[in-house]
Amino acid sequence: MSREPNDDLLLEKRYLNALSQGDSSALSGLYELYGERIFRYAYRMLGNRNDAEDATAETFLRVLRRSTELRADGAFRTWLFRITRNLCIDRMRQHKLLELPSDAHYASPEDRTALKVTVRQALSDLPMEYREPLVLCDLEDVSAKEAAEILKITVPALKSRLYRGRRALRDKLGGAFEKK
C-alpha cells in the first residue's frame, strides 16, 4: 500500500524526534522512508551499484552522527540529498570517474535499446553542472525549488542549467532527435 506524502512527513518527524533523543533504531525508519530514493539518486550520479550502496549507507550514517542536531523542520529530505550529492562528488573525484560512462547493469533486457544506451551515455558525458539538474529534475522528479536547495543555487540558476543541459544533451545526441 502506498503512503501519502503527508504520512511520510509525519513519520519523518517521529523518527527524527526519536533519533535526536538517542534512539538509533529510528534510523531504520528514515532509511525505510528515503533509502530507495537516495540509492537511485546515487546510482544515477555514480553509475555503479557498489558505489551507490556505499554512498547510501554513508549518507544515513552521517544522519546518525549528527542525530542530536536534527530538527523536524521539513528540510530534512533536502539535506539528505545534499549529503548524498557531496558524497557522490567526493567519490567521483577519488575514482576520477567524472567523465567515465556509467555501467550497464541497471538496464533490463528490453531497455537495452540503442537509443536509451546512447541517451544514458550522453548524459554521463555532460559536465556535472548540467548533469545534476537533469538527474534531479527530469529523472528523479524533484521540484525546481528543492533541486536548487540541494545544489545550493537559486531557482533561476537551476532552471538556466536545466535548460542548457537539455540543449547540451541534444547536441551530444546529434541527429537522433532531428525533426523528420
Partner 1 sequence: MKQESLTQHLVDLYAGNELSLELMEELEFDALQNAALAADMQSLRSVVHALQALPTPEFSEESNQRIRMKLFAGGMGADPSRSRASEPAFLQHYLPISG
Residues that bind partner 1 (CB under 8 A): 23-29, 31, 35-36, 39-40, 43-44, 49, 52-54, 56-57, 60-61, 64, 106-108, 111, 115-116, 119-120, 123, 134, 138-139, 162-163, 166-167, 169-170, 173, 177-179
Residue 50 CB, nearest distance to partner 1 (Å)? 9
Task: Rank residues 9 and 107 by Cβ distance to partner 1 and give the closer one.
Answer: 107
| Inter-residue contact 118 to 173 (CB < 8 Å) | yes
Residue 138 CB, nearest distance to partner 1 (Å)? 5
Strands (E), the chain: none
Residue type, 8: D
**b/e for 85-108, b at 16 or more Cβ within 10 A?**
bebbeebbeeeebeeeebeeeeee
Other CB atoms within 10 A of residue 20 CB:
16
Other CB atoms within 10 A of residue 166 CB:
16
d(CA 58, CA 76): 16
Residue 65 CB, nearest distance to partner 1 (Å)? 8
Task: Rank residues 74 and 167 by Cβ distance to partner 1 and give the closer one.
Answer: 167
Residue 118 CB, nearest distance to partner 1 (Å)? 9
Residue 57 CB, nearest distance to partner 1 (Å)? 4
Task: Rank residues 52 and 150 by Cβ distance to partner 1 and give the closer one.
Answer: 52
CA of residue 133 relative to chain centroid, distance: 10
DSSP class of residue 25 equals T
Task: Rank residues 82 and 166 by Cβ distance to partner 1 and give the closer one.
Answer: 166
Task: Rank residues 86 and 143 by Cβ distance to partner 1 and give the closer one.
Answer: 143
